[in-house]
Structure 1
Amino acid sequence: MPTQQPGRRPVPHPARHPDRPRSASHRPGSTPAQGTVVLVTGDEELAAALVRLAAAAGSPLHRDGPGPADQDDTVLVLAGVDADLDRLSALRRPGVPLVVVGRAPLDPVWWQEAAGLDADHAVVLPEAQDWLLERLSDVADGRGRRGPVVGVVGGTGGAGASVLAAGLARALADTLGGCLLLDGDPRSGGLDLLVGGDALPGLRWGDLAGVQGRLGPHVLRSAVHLGAGLHVLPSDRRGGPGPDPEAVWTVLDAARRAFAATVVDLPRGALAGLGPVLGACDDLLVVTPGTTRGAAAACAVLDELRVAGVTRTRLVVRDAGVGLDPEDVADAAGAPLAGVVRPDRGLDAALELGEGVPGGRRSSLRAVAATLARDWAHDRGGDRTPVAGGVR
């Protein structure tokens, strides 16, 4: 729940993008057994409302008391702004998100107090009732832990966002044991062509025409399987308008319950209408070439994301060989630097031949993807120090 801070940047712009907050804590893996929701608050009216929601969802809820915090089966922590920081720290473990809940009307300082708890989400009742009910229902169904969702979007045309998305998906599949690469851009030409899976059988967007509501996670296991735990749900070249934002969100919601991780390739020109999809992303990477024009174009994309309420953005710079420092490019664009992709010899030829993203040890793309995947897998929050070919 960061706030925008004004500042100065090399590229003229009214506001500098804030540093990326600590990402939501996730330890993706196999679907766990039903866990417990722990509630930490002294607000009796708030507690009563949350107890009613948990009962409606069929989710076990434990009201935390002054004794030892020994809830080993905790999969979700709900808290009021009055919760003790030490108490929350004792309850939070890798993969256990914290949601701060308030009741309308709010005190003017509520958001500031909520931000001080370092939560993954802050929500207000009654507006967030449906969202909370869904999270509690997931716990009741044994799906309290969800795999992370990583969004990738180009800061400008031809930036290489789709290639990075494919590389990240492969790295996450290798690191976590499974990943879905989701084609969220109906004009991409099909990610199956990019990864060399266009001749393989499997579920495509055209097979999910009109999907809405809640989708069973097992359905997505039929998406095109590229081997080694990596699946891709590509756009359909048989025509049609492509998936709408509601359909993309529905599939994302099922994907994070079915796979250890999900990578979604987002359309650069349609971000304004993707609010729920963007909100589902635990991390969002904007890819741009390391040029002055690339930084300027990325500014516009970051602005659009900011207007949509997205603050979890970082920049991946593709070295264009013009001598610009990637840190300067990121500073100009107004987002923290996540990594630098150096030129890969033979990359374009390999992709054109349908060989997919290169996996050689000397591939800079592979190095960036592998380092980011390890970072997410180990739930490391806070600032990350970017390095050439990866992040440290």
Structure 2
Amino acid sequence: MALIPISLAAAALMAVAVVLGSRPSIEPPRVWQLLLGAGGSVLATLALSLAAGVGQLPFLLGAAAASAAVLVPLLGILSASGLGVRAATAAGALWSVVVLPAALVVPLALEETQPEAGRIADFGGALGLVISAGAFALAIPAPAAEGPVDAPHVTRRVRIAAAGLLAIGFTVWLASLEGALDEYVSGVLLAALLAPPAGALGWLLVDRLTGARAPIRRSIRMGLAAGGAAVMSCAVAVPLPLAVLAGGVAGAAAAGMHESRRGRRMSVARRTGLSALTAGAVGLLASGIVGERSSFAADADLSTLGAQLAAMLAVAAWGAGVGALGLALIRRASRDRRGRRWAIPDSNR
């Protein structure tokens, strides 16, 4: 419990870093939007965990607070899809208050009923923060026209500062989810520091092999995110060298999807969502394949791998289903409100 304030502060630092680092490509959300989404996520997660009788508050509160960092690109994509500020805020809250808490709490509740060999291994909440967010993004409709990318007003110093703040925030945040300063913390710190750069190297390698003409700084940014998304779930379950390797594989796999011929024809929302799903899947499946306990490599046991795969599919279906239904209702309500605003009163006809 003593590490909860550190986890919350690190989550806030990550959100600030993502705002600074993503300014070239998306419109930064308003502060009140992030506070509303992250605050609502923390309260909803706490309420659901109490109702389900699930403990592990350091993990749940820390993961819910990290929703602010995820909301930065998610709200930017929602706004770029043509939604107004109110509609985009409602859609972001739908993910952070409804989709995310269930994706964090329900796997923990199910874990208590399963034997150790079949338990879900998700140390950093990748099921909620990566898989559910990526699936939710798939439901975001494509805008009429894509906006400009890499605006020139962001200086190099700002980008370097954002990268440094994000590295510090992510490393401290992931380690704080352990809830205590035990023998696992040092390994988590090293994995959180090394896996994101490995993801960036993997992304750049695929860019070079495929001849992609993407800006290098964008590839580095996306690769860092992919490596971080992968190591979130396997930082403890997988040995350190393999956790770093998982980050590199996640960067390469996400880049392969993102820069594929089919990926380039997708909207930014779906392209980003599939990249997140790919990177998150690499880390989650790594725990079932090469984990130190109850994995295929450790004892030829497929139960953990099956549990990881089933959890991913269930959370992805939950995120995409709620996203599709919720966004349809939000867009319809937004159109009705605009129609009433421009309607001509009978007395003026």
**TM-score, normalisation: structure 2:** 0.24
Query: Is the strand fraction higher in 1 or 2?
Result: 1
Query: Is the helix fraction higher in 1 or 2?
Result: 2
